[in-house]
Structure 1
Amino acid sequence: MHQPNYIILQCYGYEAVFLECAYALMSLSRLYKPEELTNTEIWVYTDKPEWFDRFADCPLPLHFRKMDAALIKQWRGDIDFVHRIKIELLLDFTETRTGNILYADTDMVFLQKLDDVWNGLAPGELYMHMQEGKISEKGNPLFRKLDTFLRSGKAIKTEGTPLYDLYMWNAGILGFHSSHRELLQKALEYTDSEHPKFPKHIIEQFAFSIQFGSKGNIKSALPYALHYWNMKELRQIIASFLQYFDGKPWADLVRYSSLLQPYILVTEKNMFLQNRSFTEKVLNKKWVPAMPNWELLEKQI
């Protein structure tokens, strides 16, 4: 018997996050026919499940777990850390379910079918979005600060490979089997212990990097999904898209959503940042994407 597959999304708070979530679901609908998802459930942890009522004809196997303000506060913990919520909701989900799990932040788009991922999770493979580099190589200012912290007397010490010689992985996407639930608990314990001493957002993803890496080779989810964490500008384009195509059936939204092309926008933004003049860098000139002409683009599909 095949293990059930679960896709989990965390969607609460700002309207922009809900727009991202809708786009992520559209990208999944582009890849799968409804009959291909009979062994899959999609769970959205959200404070406003009614927001999704506008997509009543969406054939995806959607389920919702309501998070009210009290639960969100509880899951932020005594350290009041927003990224702690991710670990808690995964512990909540795996408390009563067995199967293959793919967690994703809302700022992502599915690129290809997940069949190979599902087939690997039950035997023990672990996925994160992509490797960002070794801490001790100090590839960015945050890594330099974390490296200093991990070498100090304040940080947790470990036998074997020093923590500063581990690789940091982006935790916007996590793939694991529910039998690895103890890794979630250990990630929570590390976060609760170290975040008060090093109160930076990367502590949560480093906690997952440590625990998933302890089981061997972490596999990259990048071939299957793009986590566009540094492309918040896409939110306004998604908002414009849904406004223009408001009232269209889900099938049309899915078809037209291919016009968004976030991977091209990521490239454009990176090129802009790399080619800024010295003065533009000093003034921190921002990249502003061109708003698509939906009326013109609609004719191209």
Structure 2
Amino acid sequence: MNIVYLVFGNNMDHYQQVYFSIYTSSAYKNAEDRIIVVAENPSLFSSLEGNIEIIPINRDVIKEWEGKYNFFWRVKIKALQLIAQKYPLDSILYLDGDTFFYNNMDALRNGMKNGQNFMHIEEGKLFALSSKTEKLMWTQMKGKTYHNTKIDENSAMWNAGLIGISNKHLDCLEVTLGINDAMCADDVPRRLIEQFAFSLGLNEYSALRPAAHIVGHYWGNKKQWNQIIDHFLKECFMKNYSFDQIIEHVKEMNLTQNPIRVRESNTQKKLKMFIDQFFKNKRPVYVNK
């Protein structure tokens, strides 16, 4: 099984998140599993050489992967196709950077060996979802067919923070890409296109199953988790831990004690933005040259 991450751009938080997720996957993987990082800045993973495989990409590749509709998250589908082409006999377990393992992954590995596909968790049938984007998507797409896949009351939206594709069904990536591009061509609201395309494409080959009981996805509490990860990596650096020592440290952590989602007050956010804008630092002082 290939455990795959994708990271590009210059945001150091994203690279640190991937680092931490790699450490947690290393704590639970077995000897036959391979960890692969597709990275725009591969030098940031130099300390992991020998423990992971690094596939470098550049801005030209990213631009090509975005396709003729210049769709940012199409890059994720193309990256997984690259892995499937390189390792056509292996299942793929893709993870967003803001994830962590907290339970044994045998159920995912064995399920994919038996032809099962996974995504992180089902968010609901598209027609019943309540966000503005989802309502717009349903209004525009209901009853339509995208790359031979009809959108109806059974069409479900799954969270794409984890994507598990059986080696028996790697062709579903081409279906996912076709659905994605067809939605772009129809000018569907873009925020959730890639996520919905994966939900439909993978489900065409195998009724999707959730993986939230094995992997946590803290998309709803990144601020706190970034602080936790930053402190963790600093400690590992300052104490000069070896890779094996870091993995043992991860195994001792209780990752379930920190929330993966919190609901922030909109009033608090607006007040903070107002105060930050109104009260700015004045008279900065610099050292003399």
Structure 2 residue aligned with 1:248, among 237, 241, 244?
241
Letter in 2 for 1:237: I
Partner amino acid, structure 2, of 1:132: E
Task: Tell me what 1:266 maps to.
Answer: 259
- Give the Cα–Cα distance (whole angstroms) in 1 for the partners of residues 39 and 148 of structure 2: 39
Partner residue of 1:296?
Answer: none
- Taking the TM superposition and a 5 Å limit, the aligned residue runs for 1:50-199 are 50-55=43-48, 60=51, 62-97=52-87, 98-151=89-142, 155-156=144-145, 162-196=151-185, 197-199=187-189
1:11 corresponds in structure 2 to: 7
Aligned to 2:284: none
Offset at 1:163? 3.1
- Whether the 8 Å CA contact 2:102–2:256 is kept in 1: the answer is no
Partner of 2:277: none
Which residue identity lines up with residue 244 of structure 1 in the other structure?
E
In structure 2, relative to structure 1, the CA distance for the partners of 1:101 and 1:158 (3 Å cut) is closer
Between the aligned partners of 1:161 and 1:187, the Cα distance in structure 2 is 13
Q: Return the offset for 1:22.
A: 0.9
Instruction: Give the share of equivalent positions with the same residue, in percent.
Output: 24
Give the C-alpha shift of residue 190 in structure 1. Answer: 1.3
Deviation string, structure 1 residues 270-294 (Cα, Å, up to 9, x no partner): 2x53xx4x85477588xxxxxxxxx
Q: Aligned residue pairs: how many? A: 267
Tell me the distance in 1 between the aligned counterparts of 2:59 and 2:149.
Answer: 41
TM-score, with length taken from structure 2: 0.82
Is 1:212–2:199 an aligned residue pair?
A: no
* Letter matched to residue 195 of structure 1: C
Residue among 8, 14, 17 paired with 1:20: 17
Per-residue CA distance 1:61-106 (angstroms, 9 max, x = gap): x111111111111111111122101110111111232122211111
**Does the residue aligned with 2:54 lie in a helix, a strand or coil?**
strand
What amino acid maps onto 1:29 in structure 2?
Answer: S
Distance change >3 Å, CA 284–CA 149, structure 1 → 2: farther
Q: What amino acid is aligned across from residue 49 of structure 1 in structure 2?
A: P
**Runs of at least 5 residues in structure 1 that lack an aligned partner in the other structure:** 286-301
1:158 shift after superposition: 8.6
Corresponding letter in the other structure for 2:156: Y
The 1-side partners of 2:203 and 2:179 are apart by 14
Q: Give the alignment's Cα RMSD to 1 decimal.
A: 2.7
Shift, 1:23, TM fit: 0.4
Whether the 8 Å CA contact 2:172–2:205 is kept in 1: the answer is: no
Supply the distance in 1 between the matched residues of 2:134 and 2:45 (Cα, whole angstroms): 38
| Residue 157 of structure 1: how far off its partner (Å) | 6.0
Q: Deviations over 1:205-238 (max 9, x none)?
A: 1111112222342111112211222222122331
Native 8 Å contact 1:157 1:163 kept in 2: no
- Contact 2:28–2:105 (CA under 8 A) maintained in structure 1: no
Give 5+ residue unaligned stretches, structure 2. Answer: 274-289
Shift of 1:170: 0.7
**1:201 maps to 2:191:** yes
Deviations 1:155-203 (A, max 9, x none): 5369897435411001111111233122111111111121241132211
Find the partner of 1:42 among 25, 35, 39.
35
Contact 1:128/1:220, CA 8 A, preserved across alignment: yes
Contact 1:6 1:42 in 2 (8 A): yes
Amino acid at match of 1:24: S
Query: Structure 1 93/157 Cα, relative in aligned 2: closer, same or farther at 3 Å?
Result: closer
1:229-283 C-alpha deviation (Å, 9 max, x unpaired): 222212233123222331322233334446875543326x52x53xx4x854775
CA distance in 2, matches of 1:188, 1:160: 12
Q: Whole-Å Cα distance in 2 between the matches of residues 283 and 151 of structure 1?
A: 39
**8 Å CA contact 1:132, 1:168 repeated in 2:** yes
